[in-house]
Structure 1
Amino acid sequence: MVFKHSRLSCGSSSVVEYNLAKVRAEGSIPFSRSLLLLRIARDAVKRAVSSIPCDVAGVYKMLGANGLVLYVGKAKDLQKRLRSYYNFNQMSDRILAMVGHITELDVIVTQSEAEALLLEAQLIKTLKPKYNIIMRDDKFYPYILLSKHKYPRIVKYRGRKEVGLGKCYGPFISSLVVKLVISALRRAFQLRSCSDNFFASRDRPCIEYEMRNCSAPCTRKISEEDYAKSAHMAHKVLTGKSKELQRELFDSMRKFSDDLDYESAMVYRDRLQALKSIQECVSFQTEMSCDADFVSIYGRHGTYCLQVISFRGGISYGSQPYFVDDGNYESESDVLGMFMLQVYSDPPGKVYVDCVSDYCEIINTALEELLTRKVDVLTAKSHEELKFLRLARNGAMEALNRRLRDKALPAELEELAEFFGLQNPPERIEVYDNSHISGTHPFGVMVVCGKDGLLRKEYRKFKIQTVLNGDDYSMMHEVLFRRFREESSLALPDFVLIDGGRGHISSAIQVLGDLGIPFACMAKGSNRNAGEEVFYLPDGRKICLDPNSKLMLYMRKIRDEAHRFAITSHRSSRDKTLSSAILCAIPGVGGARRGALITYFGSIDGVKRARADEISKVPGISMKLAQRICTYLKQGTQS
């Protein structure tokens, strides 16, 4: 199927272009000061609507100064959709701000709504308009990978599925589920998870073999044929054939038991128990043998949440909420269509949605053209399908309500702007804090928040590089300098909050002064109790807030989040260093023996789990030294 579309012609022009204002913006124009531009835009859009045929579907592009694409939208009825842009009372502040920047309107008429949906998605992905909410996975969700080796390894994998990589199962939405499933599969089938270098360097089994998590193919403790059988059984589990495999394992266990081969029977018993633990890892069990997703949408106050519950081979791969903060959609079906075409890079064969069946056909047509393969977008009919859609609906409602609770209310941001003398409510707030103990393992952090609450994907950690004496002021100067240096690609904040006192002001002014970014330092009172906080401003003033006000509660919340993130970063660095040094602190264990221990057991944790008789098998480690190592690691003191 090939779609064809045409741009609407007006006279000799191939594009409907309307000059909405001869005034050109020189930066951001707050809508409250752009009423004239808005009225000019409304009148011009009215004239444009009069030239568009009735009841035609299509896509429209709103252009700003220098032809910059501000927004791309689609409509089943272009006339009706564009009329909404000159009804200011129905617009959000965000849409009003966009309309105030419009200089041209480009309309493309399509033959169907499905074509308009597909074209909209393609234009948004290509042009990346400023005012479109482009929903995307900004991280790769994890897969379980059975590598394409002679002896396949089973590991968690993030990234694109590539030819020759091996068999990927997923994506899973929960990393914890991946970890638990891999652990259970290794207990059941003794599959290796080590790197190729570690595998190739072995001349004796590692601790994983002793713990019965691996069959030690590195030292040929298992034949290639038997290992392949184990890998195939893991493949059956990951493709939803657990019940079939359970019957096979149970029959084998009973056969060995009848033959009085109890050792072999115990192996199959353990495998059955491991399969049971895998079933406990997943949220639901279903009789469906196909791959399917259940997608439900729920919206409030111009914000939408789409909850996706994923099944692959009858196994639940978890659920994930997606959010859209864009009140520029006519219906929930439009949001759903946008989601399906912009987010789904690899949808399953069936997707069940809670929208009208007619719109399912529109999405089906667009997806088939986009992906060049069949994807069935369906409405739920059976009891089981309806049950999972209800679960997705409930999940969407809960996730959206939680998100709305966590968001900073406009009133709080307006109060913040008034309290600190900002021209407009801040859209991006950055909070900074340091953490160290007497100058050791120092870390600085940046936490980002705004009207959508805490933006965790924007967080940054800074390992202090130039300050060695525990000077907190110099550390903060380094963090701010590295954050705001010229090559930084991050957007500038509207307001900066520093967890610190009067002494941090000069450090911040040296970096932020020339940038003109407003900031304040938030310090605890003399007793360091909540409720006694004060704010130090660049002009030297010290101001206070009502300790029980909503703004004060909000400021504490974002300050505490920065403090938590800083402490977590510091502890992680400290624990990593201590774990690395702990072996060398044991009398008789130097660098060479430390390396031998880690090579043999795979990690520090592997050494800690090992018994003395296992440690004594490491070349160069006597039984006496092995006992000393165990005692030291167990008690945390030198023997």
Structure 2
Amino acid sequence: MDQPATPAAAGDARDALLREVAALPHLPGVYRYFAADGTLLYVGKARDLRKRVSSYFQKDHGGTRIGHMVGRIARLQTTVTRSEAEALLLENNLIKTQHPRYNILFRDDKSYPYLKLGTAHPYPRMAYFRGATDRRDSYFGPYPSAWAVKESIAVLQKVFLLRTCEDTVFVNRTRPCLLHQIHRCSAPCVGRISQADYAADVDAAARFLRGEHDGVLRELQQRMESAAAELRFEEAAQVRDQIGALSRVLQQQSMEVGAEHDVDVLAVELQGRRACVNLAMVRGGRHLGDRAYFPSQLHDAELPDDAEQARQAVLDAFVAQHYLELPLPPVLLCTTPIDAELLGALQEHAGARCQLVSAPRGTRRHWLEMAQQGARLALARLLAEEGAQQQRTRALIDALGLDVADADAFSVECFDVSHTAGEATQASCVVFQHHAMQPSRYRRYGIDGITPGDDYAAMRQVLTRRYSRVADAAAGLPDIVLIDGGRGQVAVAREVFDELGLDVARLVGVEKGEGRKVGLEELVFADARPKLALPADSAALLLVAQIRDEAHRFAITGMRAKRARARTGGSRLEDIAGIGPKRRARLLARFGGLRGVEAASVDDLMTVDGVSRELAQAIFAALH
């Protein structure tokens, strides 16, 4: 909350702020508004800092969200930049890292996938790729989804018979694989095609991905006719089959092929204070699908009252944040025009031109209509899911008899423990709040210093580590602490809470039902309340199962990663004379991984079946 101030002091502060605004330069830059308590309210860019910033203070915004924000501004900071493009880059870096309350924020999604042609190899391999690119290879994309990449690979396999195998497999093949037998690979690994002919196929595939369909067909036609004229009928037949496969692909996608090669299609849909931007991608003239984005913080964001202007504000925010990190396409199709200054700054930043089309015709219009329909469906689906999740939250609150006025703030933390026969024990803590899981607040805990396989001790350790920090501040506690387990785990949790002086009524165990069947779980309480068995179709039980399953997933993935690290390092054990796979497994199981074996004394090592004093001394010496 902002600190209260006397009217006189508030007036003096506002006068000082206005004087600071009047002294701003007529230069491009970025401005930041702060509240009295230091909270960052808003980040913006401007071609002319003085004109843009002063416009906020020259109007009476009334009771609008902009007016509310302006009323809270106590301090401002500006940064002058050399160009508007530089200001755009700085503005969006600050929005993504600082999350100002009144900005529209599109969360960073996972990186886009690409189709990779490993042209550094004599026989290039095509593969699905995600990550940092290498200049030695060729990349096509980005694609909206992994499915779109794999579908393109399948097309190239049918038409150009390019290999997809790893290089290590390629060099060790002695006969063609199954893909060659089903006519999906030309088997360069065993010399069934010359390097020159394979290179021609790779070049044709690359041109096809760039949208040069007609040129590729003409070249294949010429190759077929040339081979037939020279009486190389088998080769001519193979090229004929390629032409047929390519023609079938183009016919199947006739509605999606146009003159444009690379086009991004953007449609925005707004309903209340929720929005969706749907991005469809056309690469090489082929429509590859779409992906929906939903901005966060839109409820408080600075949005115009006019619906069309609000759509443009949302689209401008998406375009600015999205294309600073991804290549700007040659053509952008949009349902709503983009700010001309923004587009100019993006072109300056990318060093490439981009044509903006907001009233397309023909195939372009069809693409835009498809994207618009996709945006409507995605937003409707999101609203339906949010409504169902809110119902589940309220159902759980009611089922547990909690006195929670604000269901949006209702929070749950859930704990689970995972290990493999005592090896690589990991505990997880997942968080549910605002009617959704909160992955950024998940935590994993490595469990050490317990008897391997002792779930009770593991649960005691993780709860102690998590809540000992908030024992003196109950405000840091969630409304409910879910424990994946029955009476035993809940009893341990109660002991921990009693020791820390915390409210045991917050503890709820999720006990598996008869036969461990889904839907038969019962809730176990730490404050002597009787077990609660909810109907299998109960919205409350569905939410409990969702949170419990997420905790289990998070724990088991962490455990597997830890186990893999331990077992990779465990090869050091097998290098010791007398240690084979069975003794290694016993050692790792007994001490919970390689780290535990390293910490064990000679006498401890001798407690493992099959380990003599001499062998224990050899293990100790090898690991130290």
TM-score (norm. length: structure 2): 0.66
User: Which of the residues 159, 165, 180 maps onto 1:194?
Assistant: 165
Report deviation, 1:243. Answer: 3.9
Counterpart for residue 133 of structure 2: 161
Q: What CA distance in whole angstroms lies between the structure 2 residues aligned with 1:546 and 1:129?
A: 42
User: Which of the residues 365, 369, 390 maps onto 1:386?
Assistant: 365
State which drifts further: 142-151 or 408-417: 408-417
Counterpart for residue 501 of structure 1: 486
Q: Residues 180 and 278 of structure 1 are in contact (CA less than 8 Å); yes or no, is this contact kept in structure 2?
A: no
Does residue 221 in structure 1 map to residue 200 in structure 2? no
Q: Residues 181 and 281 of structure 1 are in contact (CA less than 8 Å); yes or no, is this contact kept in structure 2?
A: no
What aligned pairs does 1:214-363 form with structure 2 within 5 A after superposition?
Answer: 214-249=185-220, 263-272=234-243, 274-275=245-246, 285-325=256-296, 326-327=298-299, 328-330=301-303, 331-344=310-323, 345=325, 346-356=327-337, 359-363=338-342
User: What amino acid is aligned across from residue 240 of structure 1 in structure 2?
Assistant: G
User: Which of the residues 332, 356, 364 maps onto 2:343?
Assistant: 364
Report deviation, 1:212. Answer: 4.2
User: What amino acid is aligned across from residue 331 of structure 2 in structure 1?
Assistant: K
User: What amino acid is aligned across from residue 453 of structure 1 in structure 2?
Assistant: A
Q: Residues 442 and 463 of structure 1 are in contact (CA less than 8 Å); yes or no, is this contact kept in structure 2?
A: yes
Counterpart for residue 567 of structure 2: none
Q: Residues 352 and 378 of structure 1 are in contact (CA less than 8 Å); yes or no, is this contact kept in structure 2?
A: yes
* 3-state SS, counterpart of residue 365 of structure 1: helix
Q: What CA distance in whole angstroms lies between the structure 1 residues aligned with 2:133 and 2:501?
A: 43
Runs (5+) with no aligned partner, structure 1:
1-19, 24-35, 577-590, 592-639
User: What amino acid is aligned across from residue 366 of structure 1 in structure 2?
Assistant: A
Counterpart for residue 612 of structure 2: none
What aligned pairs does 1:510-521 form with structure 2 within 5 A after superposition?
Answer: 519-521=507-509
* 3-state SS, counterpart of residue 191 of structure 1: coil
* 3-state SS, counterpart of residue 287 of structure 2: strand
Q: What CA distance in whole angstroms lies between the structure 1 residues aligned with 2:59 and 2:386?
A: 28
Q: What CA distance in whole angstroms lies between the structure 1 residues aligned with 2:13 and 2:60?
A: 8
User: What amino acid is aligned across from residue 162 of structure 1 in structure 2?
Assistant: D
Report deviation, 1:152. Answer: 1.1
Report deviation, 1:301. Answer: 2.9
Q: Residues 84 and 345 of structure 2 are in contact (CA less than 8 Å); yes or no, is this contact kept in structure 1?
A: no
User: What amino acid is aligned across from residue 335 of structure 2 in structure 1?
Assistant: D
User: What amino acid is aligned across from residue 351 of structure 1 in structure 2?
Assistant: L
- Distance 1:110-1:263 versus aligned 2 partners, 3 A rule: closer
User: What amino acid is aligned across from residue 160 of structure 1 in structure 2?
Assistant: A
Q: What CA distance in whole angstroms lies between the structure 2 residues aligned with 1:451 and 1:41?
A: 37
Counterpart for residue 151 of structure 1: 123
Q: What CA distance in whole angstroms lies between the structure 1 residues aligned with 2:73 and 2:83?
A: 27
Q: What CA distance in whole angstroms lies between the structure 2 residues aligned with 1:512 and 1:435?
A: 22
Does residue 374 in structure 1 map to residue 353 in structure 2? yes
Does residue 522 in structure 1 map to residue 501 in structure 2? no
What aligned pairs does 1:553-572 form with structure 2 within 5 A after superposition?
Answer: 555-556=543-544, 558-559=546-547, 562=550
Question: What does the per-residue CA deviation read over 1:66-117, in whole Å, with 9 as the maximum and x for residues that have no partner?
Answer: 8564542468965665699986x6559xx98x99997534467999999976
Q: Residues 430 and 447 of structure 1 are in contact (CA less than 8 Å); yes or no, is this contact kept in structure 2?
A: yes
State which drifts further: 500-509 or 288-297: 500-509
User: What amino acid is aligned across from residue 451 of structure 1 in structure 2?
Assistant: H
Number of aligned residue pairs: give it: 531
Does residue 451 in structure 1 map to residue 439 in structure 2? no
Q: Residues 414 and 431 of structure 2 are in contact (CA less than 8 Å); yes or no, is this contact kept in structure 1?
A: yes
Q: Residues 125 and 163 of structure 2 are in contact (CA less than 8 Å); yes or no, is this contact kept in structure 1?
A: yes
Q: What CA distance in whole angstroms lies between the structure 1 residues aligned with 2:174 and 2:221?
A: 35
Question: What does the per-residue CA deviation read over 1:328-356, in whole Å, with 9 as the maximum and x for residues that have no partner?
Answer: 13222222212111121222122122224
Q: What CA distance in whole angstroms lies between the structure 2 residues aligned with 1:266 and 1:441?
A: 58
Runs (5+) with no aligned partner, structure 2:
304-309, 470-475, 565-579, 581-624
Q: What CA distance in whole angstroms lies between the structure 2 residues aligned with 1:197 and 1:41?
A: 73
Q: What CA distance in whole angstroms lies between the structure 1 residues aligned with 2:116 and 2:189?
A: 19
- Distance 1:530-1:203 versus aligned 2 partners, 3 A rule: closer
- Distance 1:492-1:360 versus aligned 2 partners, 3 A rule: farther
Q: Residues 141 and 173 of structure 1 are in contact (CA less than 8 Å); yes or no, is this contact kept in structure 2?
A: yes
- Distance 1:68-1:437 versus aligned 2 partners, 3 A rule: closer
State which drifts further: 262-271 or 185-194: 262-271
Q: Residues 330 and 353 of structure 2 are in contact (CA less than 8 Å); yes or no, is this contact kept in structure 1?
A: yes
Report deviation, 1:259. Answer: 8.7
What aligned pairs does 1:5-44 form with structure 2 within 5 A after superposition?
Answer: 23=3
- Distance 1:80-1:360 versus aligned 2 partners, 3 A rule: closer
Report deviation, 1:266. Answer: 4.4
User: What amino acid is aligned across from residue 329 of structure 1 in structure 2?
Assistant: E
Counterpart for residue 385 of structure 2: 406
- Distance 1:126-1:440 versus aligned 2 partners, 3 A rule: closer
Q: What CA distance in whole angstroms lies between the structure 2 residues aligned with 1:511 and 1:40?
A: 52
Q: What CA distance in whole angstroms lies between the structure 1 residues aligned with 2:468 and 2:205?
A: 50
Q: What CA distance in whole angstroms lies between the structure 1 residues aligned with 2:6 and 2:354?
A: 43
- Distance 1:354-1:258 versus aligned 2 partners, 3 A rule: same
Q: Residues 17 and 74 of structure 2 are in contact (CA less than 8 Å); yes or no, is this contact kept in structure 1?
A: no
Report deviation, 1:190. Answer: 2.9
Q: Residues 426 and 494 of structure 1 are in contact (CA less than 8 Å); yes or no, is this contact kept in structure 2?
A: no
- Distance 1:180-1:383 versus aligned 2 partners, 3 A rule: closer
Q: Residues 443 and 569 of structure 1 are in contact (CA less than 8 Å); yes or no, is this contact kept in structure 2?
A: no
Calculate percent identity across the aligned residue pairs. Answer: 31
Q: What CA distance in whole angstroms lies between the structure 1 residues aligned with 2:194 and 2:170?
A: 15
CA RMSD of superposed structures (Å): 5.4
Q: What CA distance in whole angstroms lies between the structure 2 residues aligned with 1:263 and 1:37?
A: 90
Counterpart for residue 590 of structure 2: none
Q: What CA distance in whole angstroms lies between the structure 1 residues aligned with 2:58 and 2:529?
A: 51
Q: Residues 490 and 509 of structure 2 are in contact (CA less than 8 Å); yes or no, is this contact kept in structure 1?
A: yes
User: What amino acid is aligned across from residue 482 of structure 2 in structure 1?
Assistant: L
Report deviation, 1:220. Answer: 3.5
Report deviation, 1:414. Answer: 6.6
